[in-house]
Amino acid sequence: MQQKNAIDEVMRFNKKSKIVVLTGAGISSESGIRTFRDSDGLWENHRIDDVATYNAFVTNPAVVWSFYKERWLQSNMVSPNKGHNALVQLENHYQDKFTLVTQNVDGLHSKAGSKNVLEMHGSLHRCYCTKCRAKMAMASVNMDAEIPNCPSCGGKLRPDIVWFGEIPYYLYEIENALKCCDIFILIGSSGMVYPAAGFVMTAKLMGAKTICVNLDKPDNLSFFDEFHQGKSGDILPSLVAGWIG
Ligand SMILES: [Zn+2]
């Protein structure tokens, strides 16, 4: 408890603290978003390899598009929860010293009002042209087409999702933020799956305080100074209230 109080003091009284938050599927599932891990790597009978790889897209783009259209529609129907809202408060307090990195693609952080969000695995709300690389909002694309085409060049569009085997976005920006952050907070993730495991290690090695908020105890618990067990929607609001004083 003494350690926890000391960290709270730093956060409450030092507005110069730089914060990096990494969120995972847990915070989205509390809003009703389903994930691959909900059922042994299957999502409504789709295997990851059949819908979430570039190879799947090349082999059967109609199946991949059908899957992502459905996920996009689902993401439009769900709302941010109290956990998302608490992170908006944290950002409002720390302003440009706050960086939110998310592995989620549902756009719920932005919907809640978070501004500095790095969507490292892309977004269900965007797609891009495989020919001219133009990016565009899903909402601006004709979804009646089995495989939507680029309005500029006619090329095949693909969801702006970082698929398995592809390189996540913003790795340079994330690395820089981790190296100079004072506090690293992992939310809604077990922390063992790449890249979360690497992020906490980098932050810890560079001297940051490390905090985990998750339903289950992380496998790499030793890398965290604090672990708060529970749903982020239940416990983040009071944690954030304590952190910002
Ligand atoms: Zn194009």
Encode pLDDT of 9-52 as tens digits.
554 447 789 999 999 999 999 998 876 655 555 666 678 788 89
Which segment of 67-71, 165-169, 187-191, 225-229 scores lowest on mean pLDDT?
Answer: 187-191
- C-alpha 128 to ligand 1 mean position (Å): 8
Active site residues: 121
Phi, psi of 232 (to 5 degrees): -65, -35
- C-alpha 1 to ligand 1 mean position (Å): 56
Give me the pLDDT at residue 219, please.
82
Please tell me the distance from the alpha carbon of residue 219 to that of residue 197, in angstroms, as a whole number: 9
Give me the pLDDT at residue 143, please.
87
- C-alpha 22 to ligand 1 mean position (Å): 32
- C-alpha 141 to ligand 1 mean position (Å): 12
Beta strands in the chain (DSSP E): 19-23, 42-43, 46-47, 98-102, 117-119, 122-129, 135-137, 157-161, 183-187, 209-214, 226-229
- Encode burial over 151-183: b for 16+ CB neighbours within 10 A, e otherwise: eeeeeebbbbbbbeeeebbbeeebeebbeebbb
Asked if the model's pLDDT at residue 199 lies above 50, the reply is: yes
CATH of 34-77+124-161, one of 3.30.70.1710, 3.30.1600.10, 3.30.40.230, 3.30.70.890: 3.30.1600.10
Name the range with the highest mean pLDDT among 5-9, 107-111, 190-194.
107-111
Average pLDDT, the chain: 89
What's the mean pLDDT in 190-219?
A: 88
- C-alpha 56 to ligand 1 mean position (Å): 20
Q: Give the tokens for residue 133.
A: 């690389």
Domain ranges in the chain are 1-33+80-121+168-245, 34-77+124-161
- C-alpha 129 to ligand 1 mean position (Å): 5
Q: Among 113, 82, 110, which Cα is nearest to 240's?
A: 82
Q: Among 245, 244, 211, which Cα is nearest to 91's?
A: 244
More confident residue, 127 or 14: 127
Give me the pLDDT at residue 13, please.
40
Q: Are 138 and 107 a contacting pair, CB within 8 Å?
A: no
Instruction: Tell me which fold the domain 1-33+80-121+168-245 belongs to.
Output: Rossmann fold (3.40.50)
Q: Output DSSP code: residue 1.
A: -
Evaluate whether 1-33+80-121+168-245 and 34-77+124-161 have a shared fold.
no
- C-alpha 149 to ligand 1 mean position (Å): 8
More confident residue, 163 or 192: 163
Give me the pLDDT at residue 46, please.
76
177 alpha-carbon distance from chain centroid:
15
Q: Are 230 and 215 a contacting pair, CB within 8 Å?
A: yes
Asked if the model's pLDDT at residue 179 lies above 80, the reply is: yes
Q: Give the tokens for residue 209.
A: 């305080």
Residue 46 three-state SS? strand
Q: Among 179, 197, 183, 39, which Cα is nearest to 103's?
A: 197
Encode pLDDT of 136-167 as tens digits.
999 999 888 999 999 999 999 999 999 999 99
Residue 211 three-state SS? strand
- C-alpha 152 to ligand 1 mean position (Å): 5
